[in-house]
Amino acid sequence: MEVFVQQLINGITLGSIYGLIAIGYTMVFGIIGMVNFAHGDVFMVSAFVALIALLILTTWLGMSSVALALLIVLVVAMVFTSLVNWVIERIAYRPLRGSFRLAPLISAIGMSIFLSNFVQVTQGPRNKPIPPLLRDVIVVMHGDYDVTVSYRQLIIWGVTAVLLAIFWYLVSKTALGRAQRACEQDQKMAALVGIDVDRTISITFVIGAALAAVAGTMYLMYYGVVSFSDGFVPGIKAFTAAVLGGIGSLPGAVIGGLLIGLIETMWSAYFSIDYKDVAAFSILAITLIFLPQGLLGRPEVEKV
């Protein structure tokens, strides 16, 4: 029982990180119908930005407050990563928006390779660690195996919940959200009624990058190490989470992330850890066979 509860806590934490990345996938796909396969590497870049900012604050400037340092690091990572994704959208995606459907996908894969290799060349191929942060834990269940939850995990849960609420309100209740939903339904008609489609899409990329930056900072804080190759696998799993939850649904992206995280941790606890990725993708395949639109997605309606 203790192992199950501990893995449940770990799975929610890992799933929260996947969910934050998955929101970026689902927002971009929902509006322009493109899978931004560079999004995982944008997440990786944000983790390196957070690493550099944290080392500057703690090592060079001697900042002793961990909470203040993390807050500054989070803001810096969000701003810088949003700028990077805005540039990517303007250079690599916007010129190809009216081209054949595979062109933006190829461009996204190219940007993914570019970002990964750029970080490898500038930061080196080795793992980059940081000093341990917030090592204190709370014991929630005593027994032969003490079940604990760390302050890092509580921060990740809280940040994910708050951001989901904020962006749900943004999409559902604001003028920007109405413009995004209009562009999702029909970009030409949205432009005819006065919506700046290019601006709306750019803002969507910026929002997705900001969420990826939060996920990158939480990932760095939780694991304490980052590598140039850390964009591919988390990115693919986050995309899997978005599809599982229902592409285009913000709550679905988070629920899909939580499910992928729980599947991984539970499988690792009770079965061979070597097959945890196979288990996650198998669950996705089974779900899509019986529920092609995902858990919370809407069935696609063909326009005639």
Q: Kindly report, residue by residue over 50-64, the tens digit of the pLDDT.
A: 999 999 998 888 888
- Answer whether residue 20 shows pLDDT above 80: yes
pTM of the shown model: 0.91
- Answer whether residue 110 shows pLDDT above 70: yes
More confident residue, 301 or 174: 174
Strand 128-129 to 225-226 pairing: antiparallel
In a domain, 84, yes or no: yes
Q: Which residues of 8-33 are buried (b: 16+ CB within 10 A; e: fewer)?
A: ebbbbbbbbbbbbbbbbbbbbbbbbe
pLDDT tier for residue 301 given thresholds of 50, 70 and 90:
low
What is the per-residue pLDDT for 180? 87
What is the per-residue pLDDT for 299? 62
**For the chain, how far is it from start to end, CA to CA, in angstroms?**
54
In a domain, 49, yes or no: yes
In a domain, 81, yes or no: yes
More confident residue, 30 or 241: 241
Q: How many structural domains compose the chain?
A: 1
More confident residue, 216 or 30: 216
What is the per-residue pLDDT for 300? 59
pLDDT tier for residue 203 given thresholds of 50, 70 and 90:
very high
Residue-wise pLDDT for 229-283, tens only, equals 899 888 888 988 988 888 878 888 889 999 999 999 998 888 888 888 888 788 8
- Answer whether residue 217 shows pLDDT above 90: yes
Distances (CA, A) of 93 to 46, 110, 137, 185, 300: 20, 11, 44, 20, 24
- From the CB of residue 287, how many other CB atoms can be counted at a distance below 10 Å? 17
In a domain, 299, yes or no: no
Q: Considering the chain, what is the average pLDDT of its residues? A: 87
Domain containing 172 equals: 2-231
Give kind and range of the element (H or E) at residue 173.
Answer: helix 151-173
Query: Residues 24, 98: contact at Cβ < 8 Å?
Result: no
More confident residue, 150 or 280: 150
In a domain, 250, yes or no: no
What is the per-residue pLDDT for 121? 94
- Answer whether residue 83 shows pLDDT above 50: yes
What is the per-residue pLDDT for 67? 85
What is the per-residue pLDDT for 304? 47
Query: Residues 94, 187: contact at Cβ < 8 Å?
Result: no
Residues 114-131, mean pLDDT to the nearest whole number: 91
